[in-house]
Amino acid sequence: MTRREMLSLCRNGFGGVALMGLMGSTPFDRMLVAGDSPAPLRPSPSHLVPKARSVIFLYMDGGVSQVDSFDPKPRLAREHGENPRDKFAVDATQFNSIGKILKSPWDFKRYGECGMEVSDLFPHIGSCADDLAVVRSMVADFPEHTNANYFLHTGHGLQGRPSMGSWVTYGLGSENQDLPGYVVLDGGLIPPGGLDNFNSGFLPASYQGSIFRAGSEPLANIDPLEPTTALQRRKLALINKTDDTLLGRIGHANQIESAISNYELAFRMQSSVPELTDLSGESEATKKLYGMDSEDEHTRGYAAQCLLARRLVERGVRFIELTCPRCASDRWDQHAKLREGHTLNAHAVDQPIAGLLKDLKARGLLEETLVVWAGEFGRTPFAQGTDGRDHNPSAFSIWLAGAGIRGGTVYGATDEYGYRAVENITTIHDLHATMLHLLGMEHERLTYRFSGRDIRLTDVGGKVIDAILT
């Protein structure tokens, strides 16, 4: 127990000690009381025996086309150029520019011992097929980017809720007290909805995502301005003394406690972050595996981010999210020029992601790291205009790999056109429940009292996808 925690308990009386004992010791089995905010990222016990220690979330911003990636549909080729309204009921789309049925420009091949079919867009990821569990029956609640992004990241379609990374660090803390528990590696594109996709919402600010930019200076002011460490420590001590004085007058306040904790973490990060982001010690073979020798600058950039994600996992960071690189196609949102846009994006991320999976596996880290690849929704099997695809929340594909995942698995199915999920329909709440389960948390017990009710990431839904688990 820290000094600040002891004083917080005394401030609330010895009855507070008894209350904490009655309400349990883990942060997700009780309401927040004084003493929770100090050292908010300290590791906390889980409900279940966890399979995963960390999560790497590979966010495919804009909505990858499922029928061009992990859900082959031969019927599209047979009926290419025909009117979709003659074949099935067509829902209203984002732009209501309904074109003809559009076959995939890419062929599919079988990979691995499992024989999983993967598009030619992803030959490197295809080589990892035996480690993947592809879910083809995902559905989204929103057809528009911003709301769909909020739903994917926070389990709620409106702004203001905590992101999944914030929930994970709130529930479990982090194994490294010198780095944030939740890190977002900015590849160049912040998704629609902005930074609220990574915010802590009504949870204390210590749990929000810390955004690391690409390049040699991932954070502002990472280099100390003071000429000596002693001077910097004195400044930090003065700030803490001022905050402690305010706390002594007004009592427990999450905002002030979080600020104190964040100042202290920021000081430690000035040593830990430069060491983290220095890739000079990585072997040339490792860098080549990720694609850091590629002629494409976007591939090189995303490769560095994937390698950095592995280094964060090694250092005990709990939740890492990677955003997409800023390719000429501007995200996976191809309302036109599908072939050009998806090709550029896939070329940027395919080898780095496969390199990440193979590197994690070689180092024994994949068995304790959950890797999730997902966008916010899918695309239509018919064209928007002549050569694009519109948004489709009724079916899309994601995949998971690593800790507790049954590799070489395909779960769920869509109709013959890849338009609607028809078998083992899976929701975003189901995905979140599964991620929390693998981390050792029961999603119905991970709650926070706010606005008169106990709120959770999975709202009032969510079922663990048992069929893809070992």
Cβ atoms of 187 and 152 closer than 8 Å:
no
Q: Which amino acid is at 242?
A: T
Antiparallel, parallel or unpaired: β 391-392 and 116-119: unpaired
User: Which residue in the block uniquely carries the two structure tokens 């590197």?
Assistant: 359
Q: What pLDDT score was predicted for residue 129? A: 98
Cβ atoms of 48 and 26 closer than 8 Å:
no
Query: Any residues with CB less than 8 A from the CB of 80 and at least 6 apart, and which?
Result: 100, 101, 102, 103
Domains of the chain are 1-36 (no CATH), 41-220+291-468 (3.40.720.10)
DSSP-assigned states of every residue in 24-93? -SSTTSS---TTSSSSTTS----SS--S-SEEEEEE-TT---GGGTT---HHHHHTTTS-GGGTS-----
441: helix, strand or coil: coil
Q: Which amino acid is at 314?
A: E
CA distances, 25 to each of 31, 153, 455 (Å): 11, 28, 19
CA dist 385 and 96 (Å) reads: 10
Q: Which amino acid is at 236?
A: L
Closest CA to 119 of 76, 71, 74, 80: 71
pLDDT in tens, the chain (470 residues): 555 555 555 544 544 444 444 444 334 443 333 334 457 788 988 999 999 999 999 999 999 999 999 999 999 999 999 999 999 999 999 898 999 999 999 999 999 999 999 999 999 999 999 999 999 999 999 999 999 999 999 999 999 999 999 999 999 999 988 899 999 999 888 899 999 999 999 998 889 999 998 776 777 656 666 667 777 678 777 877 777 777 666 655 555 566 666 656 766 777 778 888 889 999 999 999 999 999 999 999 999 999 999 999 999 999 999 999 888 667 999 999 999 999 999 999 999 999 999 999 999 999 999 999 999 999 999 999 999 999 999 999 999 999 999 999 999 999 999 999 999 999 999 999 999 999 999 999 999 999 999 999 999 999 999 999 99
User: Which residue in the block uniquely carries the two structure tokens 């769920």?
Assistant: 412
Query: Any residues with CB less than 8 A from the CB of 413 and at least 6 apart, and which?
Result: 136, 137, 421, 422, 423, 424
Cβ atoms of 282 and 303 closer than 8 Å:
no
Phi then psi dihedrals of residue 233, to 5 deg: -65, -40
DSSP-derived secondary structure letter, 129: G
Q: What pLDDT score was predicted for residue 297? A: 94
Question: Using CB atoms within 10 A of its CB, is residue 256 exposed (0-12), middle (13-18) or buried (19+)?
Answer: middle
The helix (H) or strand (E) run that includes residue 191 is: none
pTM of the model: 0.86
Q: Is the alpha carbon torsion for 328, 334, 336, 340 positive or negative?
A: positive
Rounded to 10 degrees, what is the CA torsion of 158, 161, 166, 167?
A: -110
Q: What pLDDT score was predicted for residue 321? A: 98
Query: Any residues with CB less than 8 A from the CB of 290 and at least 6 apart, and which?
Result: 303, 304, 306, 307, 351, 352, 355, 356, 359
Q: What pLDDT score was predicted for residue 38? A: 52
